[in-house]
Amino acid sequence: MTDRASRILYIDDDQALCRLVQRALARLGREVVTANDGDAGLRMAREGQFAAICLDHYMPGADGLETLAALHALPDPAPVIFVTGADETRVAVAALRAGAEDFVVKTPGESFLLLLQRAIEGAVDRAAMRRKQADAEAAVREARDRAEELAASRALLLQEVNHRVANSLQIIASLTRLQEGAVADPAARAALAAVRHRIAAVAQVHRRLYTSADVRSVALSDYLGGLLAEIGRSVETARIDFTGAPLEVPPDRAVSLGVILSELVTNALKYAYPDAPQGGPIRVTLAMENGGGVLRVEDDGIGGAGAERPAGTGLGGRIVQAMAQTIGGLVEFAGGPGSRITVRFALA
In the predicted structure, residue 305 carries a pLDDT above the cut 60: no
- Which helix (H) or strand (E) segment holds residue 344: the answer is strand 339-345
Instruction: Give the integer Cα–Cα distance in Å for 284 and 242.
Output: 5
- Where on the phi/psi map is residue 17: left (φ > 0), alpha (ψ -120 to 50), or beta? alpha
Confidence band, pLDDT 50/70/90 cuts, at residue 309: very low
Question: What tens digit of pLDDT does each residue of 120-151 get?
Answer: 999 999 988 988 998 999 999 999 988 888 87
SS3 call for 334: strand
Give the model's confidence band at 312: pLDDT under 50 very low, under 70 low, under 90 confident, else very high: very low
- Is the pTM higher than 0.85? no
Phi, psi of 193 (to 5 degrees): -65, -40
Q: Which residues contact 110 (CB under 8 A, 6 or more apart)?
A: none
| 56: helix, strand or coil | strand
Q: Could you tell me if 261 and 242 are in contact, meaning their C-beta atoms sit under 8 angstroms apart?
A: no
Does residue 162 or residue 147 have the better pLDDT?
147
Mean pLDDT of 111-116: 90
- Of 20-34, 111-125, 250-264, 270-284, give the lowest mean pLDDT range: 270-284
8 A C-beta contact, residue 183 and residue 189: yes
pLDDT at residue 303 above 80?
A: no
- Kindly calculate the radius of gyration of the chain based on its CA atoms and give it in whole angstroms: 40
pLDDT averaged over every residue in the chain: 84
What is the DSSP annotation of 247-304? -EE-HHHHHHHHHHHHHHHHHHHHHS-TT-TT--EEEEEEEEETTEEEEEEEESSSTH
Peptide bond into 337 cis (omega under 30): yes
pLDDT value at position 101? Answer: 92
Residues 6+ apart with CB under 8 A from 209: 158, 159, 162, 215, 218, 251
Can you give the pLDDT at residue 210?
A: 55
Nearest partner of 79 among 8, 136, 134, judged by Cα: 8
pLDDT (average), residues 144-161:
78
When comparing pLDDT for 312 and 200, which is higher?
200
Cα separation, 106 vs 289, whole angstroms: 78
Instruction: Calculate mean pLDDT across residues 38-51.
Output: 91
- Predicted confidence (pLDDT) at residue 92 exceeds the cutoff of 50: yes
User: Which residues are paired to 239 by β-bridges?
Assistant: 281
CA distance 282 to 305: 16
CB atoms within 10 A of CB 133: 10
Q: Taking phi first (over 0 means left), then psi (-120 to 50 degrees means alpha), and beta for anything else, what does residue 195 get?
A: alpha
Report the share of the chain in percent with pLDDT over 90: 35
